[in-house]
Amino acid sequence: MTVLGEDFFHRDALDVAPQLLGKMLVTNIGGEEKRVRITETEVYRGVEDTACHAHKGRTRRTELLFGESGIIYVYLCYGMHWLMNIITGEKDQPQGVLIRAAQGYEGPARLTKYLGVTGELNGASIVGNPIVRIEDDGGQYRYICKKRVGIGYADKADRDRLWRFCLCDGK
DNA sequence: TTAGTGATATCC
DNA sequence: GATATCACTAAA
């Protein structure tokens, strides 16, 4: 078992997202360790991706997306749901991977609710952090690509991108 | 199908 | 200052 380091995230989101599938997401928030297997991820990539929060440019909120890889971007949606992303790729190139689901906790907000992830984690690093990390237990998994969801506001070309990655059942 | 909820961005 | 929007979920 190894803990994923900075080099894992310092690559294109389209490489990182599928490889995150099957990894263990481990948090230790409020003194309780929670451990789940990631089953679904989604890529938001670049200013040219109209579904990406950063496509209109830098703001206080999206500043993190332009930053260093391995940083956690947590965003509050509809006033009650925290969504968790991990920044990937080069600095000044806004891209990230949304953790959409884990085994037993399908749904991006259900996952963060279980783990105890909130805006307090926004801007934290996922490498060398006792609060949150990702472990690789060596498993190899099949996955399938699907269209992203919940981005009806984006251009059609971006809505049709197959940037959502789901673990196949079984192995 | 719709209510619930609040930060953020955008427009005065 | 105000208002519109939103990478969702649970309940009906």
| Nearest-5° Cα angle at A98, A95 to A101 | 165
3-state helix vs strand vs coil in chain A, percent to 5: 20, 35, 45
Confidence of residue A47 (pLDDT cuts 50, 70, 90): very high
Q: Is A62 (CB) below 7 Å from strand B?
A: yes
Nucleotide nearest to A149 (CA to C1'): C7
Q: Is A152 (CB) below 7 Å from strand B?
A: no
Provide the number of structural domains found in chain A: 1
Q: CB neighbours (10 Å) of residue A109?
A: 18
- Does pTM top 0.85 for this prediction? yes
Q: State residue A139's pLDDT score.
A: 87
User: pLDDT tens digit string along A120-134?
Assistant: 999 999 999 999 999
Q: Containing domain of residue A10, as a range?
A: 2-167
User: pLDDT tens digit string along A51-106?
Assistant: 999 999 889 889 999 999 999 999 999 999 999 999 999 999 999 999 999 999 99
What CATH number should be reported for the domain holding residue A39? 3.10.300.10
Confidence of residue A162 (pLDDT cuts 50, 70, 90): very high
Protein residue ranges contacting nucleic strand C, Cβ under 7 Å = A 42, 44, 51-53, 65, 73, 75, 77-81, 83, 85, 96, 98, 107-111, 113, 149-151, 153
